[in-house]
Structure 1
Amino acid sequence: MKYVEDKMVFVRSLVLLLKFLFLYSLFSFTFTTCFPQIHPKCHGDESHALLQFKEGFVINNLAHGSPKIASWNSSTDCCSWDGIKCHERTDHVIHVDLRSSQIYGTMDANSSLFRLVHLRVLDLSDNDFNYSQIPSKIGELSQLKFLNLSRSLFSGEIPPQVSQLSKLLSLDLGFMATENLLQLKLSILKSIIQNSTKLEILFLSFVTISSTLPNTLTNLTSLKKLSLYNSELYGEFPVGVLHLPNLKILDLGYNPNLNGSLPEFQSSSLTNLLLDKTGFYGTLPVSIRNLSSLIILSVPHCHFSGYIPSSIGNLTQLTEIYLRDNKFRGDPSTSLANLNKLSVLAVGLNEFNIETIPLSFANLTQLHYLDATDCNIKGQIPSWIMNHSNLACLNLRSNFLHGKLELDTFLKLRKLVFLDLSFNKLSLYSGKSSSNMTDSRIQILQLDSCNLVEIPTYIRYLDDLESLMLSNNNITSLPNWLWKKASLKNLDVSQNSLTGEISPSICNLKSLMSLVIP
């Protein structure tokens, strides 16, 4: 009997417990639905620091972007402000993203921004700090992982305290201007490399370093992107950098006194290899085929020589190749013909000897930029080139191309903006051009030394034409319609057989900046 009573008591207790749990769940659901959880406010001292920072600047409405700080005010939670993020548990400000915020003014050496000691991300890029120096207190933001001060008109020497930011994953101090505004001492660069060992991104473009690069750069094994464009570097480049296992982008462009040669490549993650206008020399190694992820190969205005290895044809991800102004020789056609993702091919000003534009190039249908200036190309311009509907730039200047060519055929290239056929052995003539034939976008047309006896009617319907070069032909007169081309800025008809007077209508060319008619 007692057993039965105990069992009944247990059952009643269980029922009461289940009722309690049901009511509790219902109450909790009703409470959270009717009274949503309020996000805790950010710390008052951090809110005050941000508002104090805001007061130190004005909004430049003429700049592009969005004035994020304009909406900040003390009546709202700073964790909800535009460009601000707080830690989800501690509510400390950890993320300040003010890129392109139309900020104008001088950065105070004791800026309240540096009181945000929990910051992990600071992005002030693309603003105008009026040539102020980067404050040394930047070193107090010891938790920073991402620092971006690029394109923000900071100037002067980069303070050594930047090297104290040992947790940095990304450092971008780059800029693009007519002169380098920031300077970085070699000793500080060495300290950055030594202390910020986890760096994945290092952008110092247009930062004057004026030294050789330390070999310790090869210790940054996490490095993915390195840009030292126009940093006044010199001496021998530490070639081991090209073997860094995670490196995807390497940009050393416009350091003419920086020397080096390409190593034997092993398997690599490189996507962009940019050596424009450096002192790099030697050949492109056969092992370049191991750069299977390469998308852009840019080595113009260097000192490379030799043949283009056929193994480059294995780099099927390549979209842009710049080989202009080196001493490459031979015929690269076979090596390049299978790269059907190419949109840019710039091989001009080399010592190539190309018998004819190969038929296999007809497969490069993605091309929008083709520069083959002074490549000793012989033969005729093939008709299939008019099927390259994406071409925006076609430069075949100073070759040995010959044959008669109707200019109107270029009307098929609807995207063409730049056309240069100068200094070949071509005989150009105009077809049956009419105003309803063209929606051509050509802005620059260079037909010097093309055996022209008149200005082709084709030109009459180029409504966007800005530059027209027709020197060294056999043109005898200038048509009246030429003086109605309001877009024309540059005109050269020198070294022709012109007779008679120039029409007063030339005064209608209000945009004309350069005129050569000797």
Structure 2
Amino acid sequence: MSVLLYVLLLFLFGRASHRSDAAALLVPKIAEHAGHCIESERMALLDFKKSISDPQDELSSWAMGQDCCSWEGVRCDNLTGNVIGLELGEHDLQLKGDISPSLLQLQRLNYLNLSHNYFDGATIPSFNGQFKELRYLDLSYSYFNGTIPASFGNLSSLQTLDLSDNDGVYVDDPAHQWLSHLTSLQHLYMSGVTFGGISSSSSLFLALNKLPAIKEIDLSQCQLKSIPPSIPHLNFSSLSVLDLSNNNINFSVSPWVFDLKSLEYLDLSYNFYGSYNSYNWSSNFSTGIAKSIGSLCNLKTLDLTHCDLGLRLAEFNFTGCLKDSLTHLQLSFSNLDGEIPDWIGDIKNLRVLDLYHNSLSGSVPSSMGRLSLLEELNLFSNNLNGTLPVEIGKLAELVILDLSENQMRGIITEAHFSNLEKLNTLDMAFNSFVFNVSSNWIPPFLLQELRIYCCSVGPEFPTWLKTQHSLNVLDISNTGISSTVPDWFWNLISVNLTSLSMSENQIEGMLPKLSTSIQWKTIDLSSNRFYGPLPGFLGSSISYINLSNNSFSGSISHMIAENIHSYLRLLLSMNKLNGTLPNSLCQIEFEYLDISKNNLSGELPDCWSTSSGLSDLNLSNNKLTGGIPDSISYLSRLSELRLSHNNLSDEIPASLKNCSQLDVLDLSYNNFTGSIPIWVGESLSRLVVLILKSNTFIGHIPHQISKLEYLQILDLSNNNLSGPIPVSFGNFSAMQTLSKSVFTLGGILGAGDTIVVASKGKEEEYSDRLIPYVKIMDLSNNALTGDIPEELASLYGLQSLHLASNHLEGEIPDKLGQLQQLESLDLSRNKLSGSIPSTFSSLTSLSDFNVSYNDLSGRIPSGNQFDTLTDPSIYIGNHLCGFHLTDNCTKGGRPIQEKPSDHGNEEDDDEMVWMYIGSLSGFAVGFWTIWGVLIFKKKWRYAHFRYTNTACDNIHVWVVVKFARMKSEIMSKSNH
């Protein structure tokens, strides 16, 4: 979001700069009048005031005196006394209501500005088209609605028209005839006006081409679909500004754009923002703009941000006359690759260079040191992997330097900053730079923002920060600092600093007592070695505190201040905090509260009725007792509730059903009792993660849980649940898909912000970035009965299925072999029979498998992943055979040597004895006895052929082994 905000600010700044000139041409002509205004015009103004609402009473002067020329916003002609200008915009007047037609009495009006008001839902007055002398009309940012009146075509003297940024203004004339009649128009701003339709877009440009004096055209955010590929008799000879940004224009071949030789500002950015699947820049146009752009010799600003160009930066032709005029080059998010060419240093007047969020590689060229006027250099989020040239230190005008999120490396010395006296923003985070500056170095700059996360600065605390007393943002996380924090630092950051991050270092010591007047907004000291009591520095402005993974001890009571009013995110996990949770905790408008992995004891406070803003509560891994208080039902915004690894008990309270926004519910490793409530599947419809493992829940699993269409992690293991697995569990929508879910955790990237889930035979922690990709079902270690529902085979996205240690019986469904994403399958310690389905050999992702201690028989499947699953312990306790085990298999699928068991083999042996006794009565009788018995008695027939096959196999093995040994001996002798 910060990237988009930055681009938007640049966009608005650019628009404001080229609009101000238009207004400046007219404003000086609106002069004060020395005498009284015309009475009819004074009455018209009063009628106008009656028709509108003035909530801030900004027009109070309109009721004072007879001279309307002295009223707020009214300007008159010096000679005649006529009202010629109304300046009622851009001052946040918030005027409301309808615009009275009484203004038509102001027949000499040439300037009308009603912008930045609140005419909510009102249509644009059509009578505006009767102001014959009107030269400036600004109705922007005023919440007008409806169509643009065709009567505007009568404003033949109009030079500036601004209808931009209203709420639902559109053009109802597909031919745009009214627009082509504005023959004096020089400045047209219609950002946000809806045109729509490909034919409408084409006629729009043909109409604009008829305006001989047009200089500026802003059609951003107009839902344009195209521009005409060619314009006959191109008349845009004076056009200097063309803004077509934030549309859905499918550029194909539009070479006339490059014939606009007077262009100074060209903005085609964000034409496919959010529509990459529907549109693509034509390769011809991309190549054309790269080669033809050099012919625009007056162009100062080129903005192709968020345009999927698919080119190498070196393909652009910036070596002609363009290199002498260009001042702003913005090519971020444009799918550029290759190295930054050396000729970039020849664009001698360049002030802003934005190349961020591309795939640029190689080093930053030393030629950039020749850009003596450069003020902003943004290269973050590329694949740059070289060193930073020392010539960067020559850029004396540089204000912003952002190299973050690359793979750059190398030594950073004082020479890199030698002339950067104007630098106020330095971002080198997520690189591998090593700072090598002297301890007494005094930087030439005075920074407001410094981010050097992941760079090497330590082990000593950087003393050169001592001079940076204007810092607003400081991030020195993961920089290898292992010393204590000097006293001067705490005084330094108490002045202007609003954001501090020193996480992931080895900084030691106690935090000093800091003033509550500090205006910090965020502070992150996580993953260090701070100890002692928690600091009591909370103030009304702070919104994020992360002190997790340290050694803070004592109670949290004194940290809570009464003057906290903002939504606070507080992370205190992985410390040594003890004591109970105070009721004062509920008085703070927390948004996120994480005190997990400490030594807190006592019961949960029953005071949450005043904490309506809380969205994430994590108190896991403590020693809390008692039940879940009913007041937690007041947390209507609660999306995550994690209370695992405590000593909580009682049943899940019915009041929890009111927390209908829950995404994550983790109550594992406690002593909760009773049955799993039916309302979990009916009231908590947003659940994505449901973990109730290691409690003492009893009864059947409610089939209503299958209504949770977003559920992708279900863990009910280690309880006393009974009954069958609900057949409807095959209906989990999120587990049926292969795509990533839209779910993310609270977005707090702090230590301990993970979810522990059993996967691949062990518990693993998944961060908030990985959870959307994880889909797991664990029902193991219960007393479930019945068959494994074959409906589970429809959960195509499932990665882990654990049903071990239950009383499941029947055969393993063949259809489970359809679960191509399955990585872990544990069916051990049940009463399953039959064979392992041969379809399992197609599970190419399977890496963890266990069917031990069942009643399975037959051959173990082979091929693909099964050739790697050779651990005998995962098959033990069955009647299986295969190369995975010491027992090989016959063609019939039985082991070569099988020890008799108590329930089948003894009966087979007895029948064999009686069969051979019967055969002694004679050859003929014996012949029919044998074959008659084999024909009519199924078990005898199986026993006979099993015996015969075993004997044949033994002979075959003996022969093969004997011949192999003989061959080996012969080869050995021949080698000698």
TM-score range, shorter chain: 0.7 to 0.9
2:248 pairs with 1:233: yes
CA distance in 2, matches of 1:455, 1:164: 76
One-letter code of the match for 2:338?
Answer: G
Tell me: CA distance 1:334–1:459, structure 2 relative to 1, closer, same or farther (3 Å): farther
Shift of 1:374: 1.5
- Could you tell me whether the CA contact under 8 Å between 1:41 and 1:77 is conserved in 2? yes
Shift of 1:454: 3.5
Q: What is the match of residue 466 of structure 1?
A: 521
Give, as a single letter, the amino acid of the residue that structure 1 aligns with 2:523. Answer: L
**What are the Cα deviations for residues 194-243 of structure 1, in whole angstroms up to 9, with x where unaligned?**
454422233445x533422346597433223344444x332118464355
CA distance in 2, matches of 1:39, 1:404: 68
Is the contact between residue 99 and residue 126 of structure 1 (CA under 8 Å) also seen in structure 2? yes
1:4 is aligned to: none
Counterpart position of 2:831:
none
Aligned equivalent of 1:305: 337
Partner of residue 247, structure 1: 263
The equivalent residue for 2:299 is 270
Q: Displacement, 1:347?
A: 0.9
- Are the aligned partners of 1:312 and 1:336 in contact in 2 as well (CA < 8 Å)? yes
- Of 314-323 and 207-216, the range deviating more from structure 2: 207-216
Residues 170 and 459 (structure 1), Cα distance of their counterparts in 2 relative to 1, 3 Å cut: farther
* Residue identity matched to 1:372: L
CA contact (8 A) 1:128 1:153 kept: yes
Bigger mean CA deviation after superposition, 298-307 or 164-173: 164-173
The match for 1:412 is: 467
Separation in 2 of the partners of 1:458 and 1:308?
47
Partner of 2:162: 172
Aligned residues of 2:482 and 2:508 also touching (Cα < 8 A):
no
Aligned residues: 467
CA contact (8 A) 2:262 2:296 kept: no
Tell me if 1:367 matches 2:371: no
The aligned counterpart of 2:558 is: 505
* Amino acid in structure 2 at the alignment position of 1:294: L
Q: 1:313 to 1:485 in 2, by over 3 A?
A: farther
2:96 maps to a residue whose letter is G
- Aligned equivalents of 1:225, 1:91: Cα separation in 2: 36
Q: Name the aligned partner's letter for residue 465 of structure 2.
A: F
* Larger deviation, residues 50-59 vs 436-445: 436-445
Aligned to 1:224: 240
Q: What is the CA-CA distance between 1:145 and the residue it aligns to?
A: 3.1
Change (3 A) 1:41 1:443: closer
Which residues in structure 2 correspond to 1:50-89 (within 5 Å)? 50-61=45-56, 67=58, 69-72=59-62, 76-78=66-68, 81-86=71-76
1:105 paired residue number: 96
Distance 2:509 2:240 in 1: 53
SS of residue paired to 2:496 = coil
Helix, strand or coil at the partner of 2:250: strand
Q: For 1:232-286, what per-residue CA distance to the aligned partner results, in whole angstroms no more than 9, with x for missing partners?
A: 3321184643553333333444432584643332253333333333445534424
Mapped to 2, the partners of 1:293 and 1:482 lie a distance apart of 55
Alignment check: 8 A CA contact 2:310 2:336 kept = yes
Listed one character per residue, the Cα deviations across residues 449-480 of structure 1 (whole Å, up to 9, x for unaligned) are: 4x334479799799443223355x4x244554
Letter in 2 for 1:379: G
| Alpha-carbon distance change, 454 to 149 in structure 1, aligned in 2, over 3 angstroms | farther
Structure 1 CA distance for aligned equivalents of residues 168 and 403 of structure 2: 29
Bigger shift: residues 344-353 or 378-387? 378-387
8 A contact 1:47–1:74 mirrored in 2: no
Between the aligned partners of 1:197 and 1:74, the Cα distance in structure 2 is 45
Tell me how far apart the structure 2 counterparts of residues 368 and 430 of structure 1 sit (CA, whole Å).
31
Please tell me whether residue 433 in structure 1 is matched to residue 449 in structure 2.
Answer: no
The 1:140–1:321 alpha-carbon spacing in structure 2 relative to 1, beyond 3 Å, is same
| Alignment partners' CA distance in 1, 2:535 and 2:319 | 51
- Higher alpha-carbon deviation: 157-166 or 309-318: 157-166
Question: How far 1:503 sits from its partner (Å)?
Answer: 3.5
Asked if structure 2 preserves the Cα contact closer than 8 Å seen for 1:98 and 1:124, the reply is: yes
User: C-alpha distance in 2, partners of 1:178/1:466?
Assistant: 37
Select the residue among 184, 207, 214 that pairs with 1:199.
214
The correspondence for 1:492, drawn from 536, 546, 551, is 546
**1:2-41 matched pairs, under 5 angstroms:** none
1:8 maps to none
Inter-CA distance 498–131: structure 2 relative to 1 (3 Å threshold): farther
Over 6 Å off, 4+ runs: 38-41, 176-181, 455-462
Please tell me whether the aligned partners of residues 168 and 196 of structure 1 are also in contact (alpha carbons under 8 angstroms): no
Q: Deviations over 1:25-83 (max 9, x none)?
A: xxxxxxxxxxxxx9786655544433322222232329xxxx3x443469645555544
**1:221 maps to amino acid:** S
Partner Cα distance (1:75, 1:86) in 2: 16
Partners of 1:491 and 1:219 lie apart in 2 by: 60
The amino acid of 2:391's aligned partner reads: S
Determine helix, strand or coil for the equivalent of 2:294.
coil
Contact 1:142 1:164 in 2 (8 A): yes
Cα displacement string for residues 114-152 of structure 1 (whole angstroms, at most 9, x for unaligned residues): 554544332222222223222233333354333222222
The SS at the match of 1:337 is helix
Matched, 1:348 2:363: no
Structure 1 residue 437: deviation in Å?
5.3
Paired residue for 2:29?
Answer: none
- The residue correspondences of 1:288-303 to structure 2 (distance < 5 A) are 290-303=322-335
* Residues 85 and 93, structure 1, Cα contact 8 Å, conserved in 2: yes
Larger Rg: 2
Shift of 1:90: 6.5
Query: How has the CA–CA distance of structure 1 residues 128 and 429 changed in structure 2, closer, same or farther, with 3 Å as cutoff?
Result: farther
Give the alignment's TM-score, normalised by structure 2. 0.42
Contact 1:104 1:128 (C-alpha < 8 Å) held by counterparts = yes
Q: Which residue of 1 aligns with 2:120?
A: 130
Is the partner of 1:292 in helix, strand or coil?
Answer: helix
Question: Which amino acid counterpart does residue 324 of structure 1 have in structure 2?
Answer: Y
Aligned partners of 1:344, 1:440: CA distance in 2, in Å? Answer: 27
Higher relative contact order (CA 8 A, sep 6+): 1
Q: CA deviation at 1:162?
A: 4.0
- Whether contact under 8 Å (1:172, 1:204) holds in the other structure is no
SS in 1 for 2:474: strand
1:211 aligns with 2:222: no
Aligned to 2:917: none
Does the alignment pair 1:183 with 2:194?
yes
Q: What amino acid is the match of 2:384?
A: F
Change in Cα spacing, 1:107 to 1:127, as seen in structure 2 (3 Å) is same
CA 1:443–1:292: 2 relative to 1, 3 Å: farther
- Per-residue deviation, residues 303-354 of structure 1 (Å, max 9, x unmatched): 2333333333233333332221112222234242222333322210012222
> In the superposition, relative to structure 1, how do residues 300 and 104 fare at CA in structure 2: closer, same or farther (>3 Å)?
same
| CA 197–366 in structure 1, closer or farther in 2 if over 3 Å, else same | same
- Please, what TM-score do these two structures have when normalized by structure 1? 0.75
Q: SS of 1:53's equivalent?
A: helix
Supply the AA of the counterpart residue of 2:50: E
Which whole-Å CA distance do the structure 2 matches of 1:293 and 1:277 have between them?
23
TM-fit CA distance, 1:182: 4.4
From 112, 120, 127, the counterpart of 2:110 = 120
**Paired-residue identity, %:** 25
* Distance change >3 Å, CA 162–CA 297, structure 1 → 2: farther
Q: Match of 1:275, as an amino acid?
A: L
> Given residue 145 of structure 2, which amino acid in structure 1 is its aligned partner?
S
Alpha-carbon deviations, 1:161-207, whole Å to 9, x = none?
445545443332233999997434546844751454422233445x5
Of 303, 307, 311, which residue of structure 2 is paired with 1:282?
A: 311
Distance 1:391 1:198 in 2: 41
Q: CA RMSD in A?
A: 4.0
CA gap 1:213/1:70 in 2 versus in 1, 3 angstroms: farther
Supply the AA of the counterpart residue of 1:303: N
Whether the 8 Å contact between 1:130 and 1:154 is mirrored in structure 2 is: yes
Q: 2:45 aligns to what SS in structure 1? A: helix
Alignment partners' CA distance in 2, 1:103 and 1:432: 51
